[in-house]
Homo-oligomer: A and B are copies of this chain.
Amino acid sequence: MGIQERKEREKERRRQQIIVAAKKVFSDKGFNKATMEDIATEAELSPGTLYLYFKNKEELYASLSLRILQYLNLRLAHVNKDADLPPDKKIDGLLEAMHDVYDFDPMIIINMFHLQSSETLRNLSPEVMDEIKELAGSSIAAIAKIFACGIKQGAYIDQHPTALADIFWSLFSGVILWETSKNVIDKKKDYLKKTMDLAFKIFINGISK
């Protein structure tokens, strides 16, 4: 029993160890340039070991998205928990959550798009694919719920909450992507946070009546 559990925990710890390493390597080099050996080295494991915990490179990659989506979900659930919170407070919570998600792993957000983009591979096992779908879906739903609350109270324009959520998420990821790519191109200073704040402000303003 106890021994079973400890094994379980150890196994999970290993998984995390690999995920952390993978996050770093994928962030530094991107999916294709990152090699399994890079990740193994970073995790201080051997390449073979990675395959004991992840079916293949793509599934390992997908796990990162899962991880951040789980975190996002958690945060959004927390915001929605208190049903009586006034809309603007909820919005505050939402924005704070988004900032934290970004801080949680700035680069992985970018990689998530590669994952979702056509480039990425259909080799994902259905289970992982399903889990991603579900988490992404429930994240959007949670955001939509926040907006729905404001709409119901007449604070926001009367649009489908999910559409607003999609746009909000698009804005969030678009800004990260664009500001980051500007840095690659220009090496100038990193205005991301300020730009993000302004973007959110415009968005909230834009949906307010």
B-contacting residues of A (Cβ < 8 Å)? 27-33, 107, 110, 113-114, 116-121, 129, 132-133, 136, 157, 159, 163-164, 166-167, 169-175, 177-182, 184-186, 191, 194-195, 198-199, 201-207
Complex: A178 Cα to B200 Cα, angstroms: 17
Main secondary structure of the interface of A (DSSP, over half): helix
Complex Cα–Cα for A169 and B178 (A): 8
Q: By the criterion CB–CB under 8 Å, are B28 and A118 in contact? A: yes
Complex Cα distance A193/B164, Å?
14
B113 & A113 in contact (Cβ 8 Å cutoff)? yes
A85 to chain B, nearest CB (A): 23
Decide: B195 and A166 in contact? CB cutoff 8 A: yes
Q: Could you jot down 16 A-B contacts, CB within 8 Å?
A: A29-B118, A33-B121, A110-B117, A113-B113, A113-B117, A114-B119, A116-B185, A117-B177, A117-B180, A133-B186, A166-B179, A167-B171, A167-B198, A167-B202, A170-B195, A203-B206
- Which residues of chain B come closer than 8 Å to A175, judged between CB atoms? 166-167, 170, 174
Of B114, B185, B194, which contacts A132 at CB under 8 A? B185
**Known interface pairs A114-B114, A133-B186; A30-B119 also in contact (CB < 8 Å):** yes
**CB-defined contacts of A207 to chain B, threshold 8 Å:** 202, 205-206
Kindly provide the distance from the CB of A156 to the nearest chain B CB, expressed in whole angstroms.
Answer: 10
A175 to B167, CA, bound (A): 6
Check if A163 sits within 8 Å of B195, measured CB to CB.
Answer: yes
Query: Residue on B with the closest CB to A121?
Result: B33
Residues on the B chain within 8 Å of A191, using CB: 163
CA distance A172 to B174 in the complex (A): 8
User: CB within 8 A of A173: which of B33, B136, B172, B178?
Assistant: B178
Q: Which of A107, A117, A119 has the largest count of B CB atoms less than 10 A from its CB? A: A119
Q: Is the CB of B118 within 8 A of A30?
A: yes
Identity of the chain B residue whose Cβ is nearest the Cβ of A194 in the assembled complex: B163
A46, chain B: closest CB distance, angstroms = 14
The answer to whether B166 touches A177, judged by C-beta atoms less than 8 angstroms apart, is: no
